[in-house]
């Protein structure tokens, strides 16, 4: 039951939670580094991070 | 639903319904705990990050499995197969000679709890936004009514539903909303405002279809 719950929340591969966490951390760092451009274009950086995460998870 | 039907067919409706009802009570408590008690106390921007991450964890998993199924790198999603497997597993377990059939109740309850928890988390996450819980609950209720209506009107066998394609689309929608909320929580203002999830979803569809084509080419003949 616990194993199934963990699989439900974290998924079948660790790549997805790690990728989402990395995207979040990169977003926080970039927001702190340059809030001006991040405010306008940061969404596309998040989208790119998610696409890379998805691509890597499919190769595992 | 497939698991509850399998329990009902193999061990009797009463135990299947008792197990399912117990799980529904637990899910209602989980919804109450996650929504009004936890998410309602978090400020808007951190809340959007929590909602975005939750939607991405579920959505990307659905999308990943959907891509693998469409590329024929994974068995298609089949509730009928799940139903038959569960019946076979229950058939191997001898029912008790007398008294309540706890094994059947636990199997039915566990099935409802695991599937339902995902729905509770998604509805609670979407309901935590600025518009409140009402639109998320209305959407969930509408989905229940639509599924029942389709079942009554179409009456197609379970095996003929395009489950893999439906789950792939759910993955696209959840992932698009996840990207939208996560970026908003990180202080981003999307071009097009609330219409952004539409073009995010289109980008995800395009990228995932490229992945499907690439994986299908690599698949052994």
At residue A21, the pLDDT reads 95
Q: Which residue has the higher pLDDT, B177 or B120?
A: B177
pLDDT in tens, A5-40: 566 666 678 899 999 999 999 999 988 887 788 888
Q: In the predicted model, what is the mean pLDDT of residues B169-175?
A: 92
Q: Minimal Cα–Cα distance from A1 to chain B, Å?
A: 8
At residue B23, the pLDDT reads 87
Do B67 and A57 contact (CB within 8 A), yes or no? no
- Phi and psi dihedrals of B92, rounded to 5? -75, -20
- Residue B27, pLDDT > 80, answer yes
Burial class (CB in 10 A: 0-12, 13-18, 19+), B123: buried
- Token pair listed for B78: 């089949």
- Angle at which helix B44-70 crosses helix A35-58, to 10 degrees, equals 30
Do A34 and B40 contact (CB within 8 A), yes or no? no
- Residue B137, pLDDT > 60, answer yes
Looking at every residue in chain B, the average pLDDT score rounds to 82
Domains of chain A: total: 1
Q: Minimal Cα–Cα distance from B151 to chain A, Å?
A: 27
Pick from B157, B152, B204, B153: which is nearest to B180 by CA?
B204
Band (A42; pLDDT cuts 50, 70, 90) = very high
> Could you tell me the residue ranges of all domains in chain B?
2-218
Longest dimension (CA), chain A: 46
Which residue range is the domain that position A42 belongs to?
2-58
Burial class (CB in 10 A: 0-12, 13-18, 19+), B167: middle
In the block, residue with structure tokens 């719950």: A5
Q: Minimal Cα–Cα distance from B168 to chain A, Å?
A: 13
At residue A1, the pLDDT reads 57
- Choose from B2-6, B28-32, B64-68 the range with maximum mean pLDDT: B64-68
At residue B172, the pLDDT reads 95
Model pTM score:
0.75
* Contact between B64 and A13 using a beta-carbon 8 Å cutoff: yes
* Contact between A10 and B207 using a beta-carbon 8 Å cutoff: no
At residue B48, the pLDDT reads 85
- Residues of chain B positioned with their CB less than 8 A from the CB of A58: 64, 67-68, 211, 215
Give per-residue burial for A6-41: e unless 16+ CB within 10 Å, then b: eebeebebebbbebbeebbebbeebbeeeeeebeee
- Residue B154, pLDDT > 80, answer no
Which one of A12, A43, A58 has the shortest CB-CB distance to B67?
A58
- The DSSP code for B96 is P
Q: Among residues 14-53 of chain A, which lie with CB inside 8 Å of chain B?
A: 16-17, 19-20, 23-24, 27-28, 31, 35, 38-43, 46-47, 50-51, 53
- Residues of chain B positioned with their CB less than 8 A from the CB of A40: 188-189
In the block, residue with structure tokens 């003929």: B160
pLDDT in tens, B49-61: 988 998 899 899 9
Q: In the predicted model, what is the mean pLDDT of residues B120-140?
A: 75
* 3-state secondary structure string across chain A: CHHHHHHHHHCCCCHHHHHHHHHHHHHHHHHHHCHHHHHHHHHHHHHHHHHHHHHHHHCC
């Amino acid at each position: 039951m616990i194993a199934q719950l963990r699989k439900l929340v974290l998924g079948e591969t660790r790549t997805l939670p790690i990728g989402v966490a990395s995207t979040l951390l990169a977003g926080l760092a970039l927001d702190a580094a340059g809030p001006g451009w991040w405010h306008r274009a940061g969404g596309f950086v998040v989208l790119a991070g998610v696409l890379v995460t998805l691509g890597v998870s499919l190769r595992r | 639903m497939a698991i509850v039907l399998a329990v009902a067919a193999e061990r009797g409706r009463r135990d299947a319904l008792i197990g399912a009802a117990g799980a529904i009570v637990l899910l209602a408590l989980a919804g109450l705990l996650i929504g009004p008690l936890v998410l309602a106390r978090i400020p808007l921007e951190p809340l959007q990050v929590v909602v975005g991450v939750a939607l991405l964890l579920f959505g990307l998993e659905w999308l990943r499995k959907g891509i693998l199924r469409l590329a024929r790198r994974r068995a298609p999603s089949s509730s009928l197969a799940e139903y038959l497997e569960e019946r076979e597993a229950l058939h191997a377990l001898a029912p008790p000679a007398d008294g309540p059939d706890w094994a059947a109740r636990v199997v039915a309850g566990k099935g409802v709890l695991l599937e339902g928890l995902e729905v509770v988390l998604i509805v609670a996450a979407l309901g935590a936004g600025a518009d409140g819980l009402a639109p998320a609950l209305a959407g969930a209720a509408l989905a229940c009514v639509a599924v029942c209506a389709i079942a009554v009107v179409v009456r197609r066998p379970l095996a003929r539903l395009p489950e893999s394609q439906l789950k792939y689309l759910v993955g696209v929608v959840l992932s698009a909303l996840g990207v939208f909320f996560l970026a908003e929580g990180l202080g981003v203002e999307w071009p097009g405002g609330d219409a952004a999830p539409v073009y995010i979803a289109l980008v995800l569809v395009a990228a995932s279809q490229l992945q499907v084509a690439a994986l299908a080419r690599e698949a052994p003949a």
